[in-house]
Amino acid sequence: MRDFAFFDLWAKPMGLLYILGALREQQNHVNLIDCISDSSSADRRYGRKAPKRFEIPKPEAYRGIPRRYWHFGLTREELASRVHSLPRPDLVLVTSSMTYWYKGVFWCIEQLRKILPGVPVVLGGVYPVLCPDHALLSGADEIQTVPMPLPVSMPAMDLYRRLSYGVAITSTGCPRRCSYCASSLLWPSFIQRNLRDLMAEIDLQIDLGAADLAFYDDSLLIGKEDHFYPICEELAARHPGLRLHTPNGLHVREIDHTCASTLYRTGFRTIRLSLEGIDPANRQAGARKTSPGDYSAAVANLLEAGFRPDQVETYVLAGLPGQRAYDVASSIGFVRSMGARAKLAQFSPIPGTPLFNEVVRTHPEVQEEPLLQNNTFYSPYVSGEITPEELQSLKDLARTPG
Ligand code: SF4
């Protein structure tokens, strides 16, 4: 992975792990090399890890940004050594995530070509679904450019041998359509999974050592009475003491008094809320899914249930087309006035979304070069919607204790 920064938000390559699980059920022998997890060198809070990194020259597209650029994960030699420690495969599957991380994917495929000449490489994950034409440059033999449903199999989590945290995806997709979000492109239908399969996956991860569990749903709380609450009851009964986290923002409209106390009693430790902002640009882009009134009620319910303010972080989106630094500062002020913490989320134009189409009308280069879609880079250096200095002030404002 190559970027200016990387934070482990309890991420695991779940799509790939489900596919490996399905292949194994069909009597195939499978192995896993996780270039990020396998290089982790330091522990972070709640089971997270910091991967090793080394500085590399910035790509030409980032020449103007005064920040250091890093390769995160296994080095060339470490990757070769890991590959050679395993039997020669018939096929290699490479997954991917953010579009603007493609340089790391290309690097990985290039290394695999050298280490395993003649072995076909298939590229999947988020990047080729969102940038199918650009992914043709990857050097892969086959490219998965359409979204795949989750296979009906157990993810092959045991390939990690030990886990410091687990991951749960209780549903895929989202019924809403925010103009900046790619959820519906990656998961065309909103589907909630059955409790039995889900619990079997979680049990397996706890057996492998996980003391923390992160939920990666886009819409965890939709239909909560029939979906989320039964999950919480099972978790409390089977795994008391398990620490739970929601790195994807929760829909604040769903957090009534009962929901807040269920979250607290079940052991949630990190709550992230989706407010995104109270300014007109933000509310329109977010399909008006959250009103200031919904938000203040949700925060009050969470604090009353027992959460500390530092456990309730709220994403405030910065850098949307038409948004000014003043608007973002107002949203941060609003969050702080409610007793919660604001966390700045910088806008990234995601290919295929309505807002991306709007962006390329004025910045067509963003379509050609996925590096320009980087959230760190886009608003301050491509659109200029918010200057680097304004962005720094907003970050400082969000970090200042209330
Ligand atoms: S931003 Fe959230 S609410 Fe909006 S479509 Fe995406 S997942 Fe759904």
Q: Interface pTM (ipTM) of the complex?
A: 0.99
User: Which two three-digit tokens encode residue 315?
Assistant: 């994403």
Give the Å distance between the CA of 183 and the centre of ligand 1: 7
Please tell me the number of Cα atoms within 13 Å of 246 on its side-chain side. 25
Residue type, 386: I
Is 178 touching ligand 1 by the criterion CB < 6 Å? yes
pLDDT reported for residue 297 = 94
Q: Ligand 1 centre from 394 Cα, in Å? A: 24
Per-residue pLDDT of 34-62, as tens digits, reads 999 999 876 888 889 889 999 999 999 99
274, 288, 355, best to mutate for ligand 1 pocket (most atoms within 8 Å of CB): 274
pLDDT in tens, 321-371: 888 899 999 999 999 999 889 999 999 999 999 999 999 999 999 999 999
Pocket perturbation via mutation, ligand 1, pick of 169, 174, 180, 253 by most ligand atoms within 8 A of CB: 174
Continuous H helices in 208-239: 228-238
Q: Which atom of ligand 1 is nearest to the CA of 218?
A: 7
User: Is 183 close to ligand 1, i.e. is its CB under 6 Å away?
Assistant: yes
Q: Distance between CA 82 and CA 105 in Å, rounded?
A: 17
Going by the DSSP 8-state scheme, the letter that residue 308 receives in this structure is: -
Tokens standing for residue 371: 């590096």
Sign of CA dihedral 186, 122, 13, 97: negative
Domains and CATH numbers, the chain: 1-148 (3.40.50), 162-402 (3.20.20.70)
* 21, 23, 27, 28 alpha-carbon torsion, rounded to 10°: -110
More confident residue, 349 or 65: 349
Q: Which residues make Cβ contacts (< 8 Å) with residue 90, sequence separation at least 6?
A: 119, 120
- Residue range 150-166, pLDDT digits in tens: 777 899 999 998 999 99
For 13, phi then psi, to 5°, come to -75, 75
CA distances from 154 to 151, 159, 356 (A): 8, 12, 35
Using CA atoms, how far apart are residues 25 and 32, in angstroms rounded to an integer? 16
Rg, Å, the chain Cα set: 21
- Per-residue pLDDT tens digits for 114-150: 999 999 999 999 999 999 999 999 999 999 999 988 7
Helix (H) and strand (E) counts for the chain?
A: 15, 16
- Going by C-alpha positions, the residue among 212, 230, 17 that lies closest to residue 125 is 17
For residues 33 and 86, what is the distance between their CA atoms, to the nearest angstrom? 10
